[in-house]
Structure 1
Amino acid sequence: MINTDPVLPLARDASSRFLPWLIAFMVWLAAMALAAVMVLSAAGDQWRRSLTGSVTVQIVPTETTDARTMEARVNSALVLLRATPGVKSANAVSADRTAALLEPWLGRNALSESIGLPIPRLIDVSVEPETSNIAVDLGTLAAQLAETVPGASLDDHGQWLDRLIALARAIEAIGFAILIVISLAAIATVVFATRTGLAIHHDVIELLHLIGARDDFVARQFQLNALWLGLKGGATGVVLAVGTLLILGSLAAKVEAGLLPPVTLAIWQWMALGGVAIAAAIISVATARITVLRTIGRMP
């Protein structure tokens, strides 16, 4: 059996000192990009589920609309909505709830007369899914509301949701592109470090060939070194990424709900981040082997 203990002093090379840190930085970037893709993908699914089967009716007041008139319009809209087949429920959003929704932007006195803003009344409507036999024709319902209730309009959130999901998908694509670029950069870095090691230990490699060592034996020396460096750098990068995500999750939890997607991952997603370190080690080993065999093959 061929001895696989290190023969070449690769661990003392300068590249063995800086390569783990480069790998750690690239793994950190890759893990953060992968986490962003997974968070946005989960957020997109959550947004779609939360808004499916939900529409909002908005009743905008005019300058001459008093509180009694507005309340009458809200009640008229509720009667029409609840009498429409396919509408599961229709509930008016109270003025206090509307004020709470506007408070982060307009302050506690959002509905006060001193501000003078025409704050609309909202009605939260739950409808049967489009696949149901009694699905609501939202276009017809919107026309009926506009005709029956002055200032009423219906929003199915479709346009807003489509734009939001399109943005999330674009960011996901950028994240995958970043992963590809980082992988190529990691390969280039390992190739450079391996070629440097071959140049430094050229004389020793020639001596090993003279005493009968095969190219595969030399390649294994570099593979073992690359495996160790890849695992060390990859583990460091993943630990840094996990710490970064925990900090971001803590900060995001303090932001008003709904403004940012929750920075939370499932168990399998955390395991996927750990897989980035293993992938870095595999890339390092494969790149080192291919580089050594191709370089030695060109030697006279």
Structure 2
Amino acid sequence: MPRVKETPLLPVEDVREAALFFVVGALCFLAALAALSAKSTYGAAKSWTAEVQGELTVSLPDADRRGADDAAKIIRQIEGVRDVRVFSKNEIDALLEPNFGSRGLPDSLPLPQLVAVKADPNVTDMGPTIARKLTEAGIASAVDEHADWAGDVRRVLAIARMTAMIAVALLVSTAVAVIAFATHAALLARRDIVDVLHLAGARDRFIAGLFERRFWILGLRAGSVGALMALGAAALMIFTVQAHGGRSGLLPELSLDFFDLVILVITPVIAGFAARLAARITVIRALKGVM
């Protein structure tokens, strides 16, 4: 006896769902990209602050090269100091080049001597200690602790990270709202099918299950497309940065490591669950309210 092919209770294709697929895919693309940016922002803040922790720069406005060497000897004797290095004139000119060009400042214009200090990050009050020791030795100085700037950078990047997470939450909420609206519209469009199922004794859970599966698959497919688009955008940005052979400074630097791939993989899963939950809640409420 030939097997009869079952006819689905809901139409297999619906032109109206194409627009919903596009909207959900676009929202998933933006959400995945925002999540990758938030994760990269955290990594940028952590790595940059780790680099500058314990670093100091000592400026000696009235000292020559010999005076800078004497100041370096005094700093080396301070407990907790790991490394001391006096900047050469070429290094100072390189620091000034972005503002004054490759020619630098005229030789007749006096420049302060700079001393780079690397200290133990666990030692507190290293800056005031260095300034006090140099003052006792009769050397005028100005000590700049890089960690002071790190705190400001951490706060700014924390705000940027929080903004990205808020954007992710808003995009997910928007996707749920759009799916809920589309589910209700689909339910109204198929009111005759729902009425027949009710007359046949179908329960609300069964009817809701039909729409759940429908939008679960739609959410998975749209989320997968959005995640693949986010992957392509991230790969393009990484390729662009590497092609120019430079880092992006304090800006988030995408790397597509394991956790980035996890974000991309769970994006369609979250989209599917969000679509399924939105469809279930919308259908149950509509059926209890007699549509």
Instruction: Indicate the TM-score class for this superposition, using the shorter chain for normalisation.
Output: 0.7 to 0.9
Structure 2 counterpart of 1:182, from 168, 171, 180:
171
Does 1:22 find its partner at 2:10?
no
Are 1:81 and 1:90, in contact at CA under 8 Å, matched by a contact in 2? yes
- 1:263 paired to 2:254: yes
Quickly say closer, same or farther: Cα 1:194–1:10, change in 2 above 3 A.
Answer: farther
**C-alpha displacement at 1:257, in angstroms?**
6.0
Q: Where has structure 1 moved over 6 Å in runs of 4 or more?
A: none
TM-score (norm 1): 0.85
Q: Which amino acid aligns with 1:42?
A: G
Q: Secondary structure at the match of 1:220?
A: helix
Unaligned residue ranges in structure 1 (runs of 5+): 62-68
Q: What is the deviation of 1:187?
A: 1.1
How far does residue 122 in structure 1 lie from its aligned partner after superposition? 2.5
* Per-residue deviation, 1:124: 1.8
Q: How does 1:2-41 map to 2 (within 5 A)?
A: 6-9=8-11, 11-14=13-16, 16-41=17-42
User: How far apart, CA to CA, are the structure 2 residues paired with 1:272 and 1:189?
Assistant: 22
8 Å contact from structure 1 (residues 6, 221) kept in 2:
no
Structure 1 residue matching 2:142: 3-state secondary structure? strand
Structure 2 residue 76 is matched with structure 1 residue 82: yes
Residues 136, 177 of structure 1: alpha-carbon distance in 2 compared, 3 angstrom cutoff: closer
Partner of 2:199: 210
Instruction: Quote the residue 2:232 is aligned against.
Output: 243
Secondary structure in 2 matching 1:223: helix
Give the one of 61, 83, 100 matched to 2:94.
100
Paired residue for 1:49?
Answer: 50
Question: What RMSD in Å do the two structures reach over aligned CA positions?
Answer: 2.5
Bigger CA drift: 151-160 or 39-48?
A: 151-160
> 1:105: how far off?
4.4
Deviations 1:96-145 (A, max 9, x none): 233334444443223x428x7755432221212326xxx66431222333
Counterparts of 2:73 and 2:186 in 1: how far apart (Å)?
A: 80
Distance 2:58 2:153 in 1: 21
Q: How many pairs align?
A: 285
Please give the TM-score of this superposition, normalised by the length of structure 2.
Answer: 0.88
2:106 maps to 1:113: yes
State the identity as a percent: 26
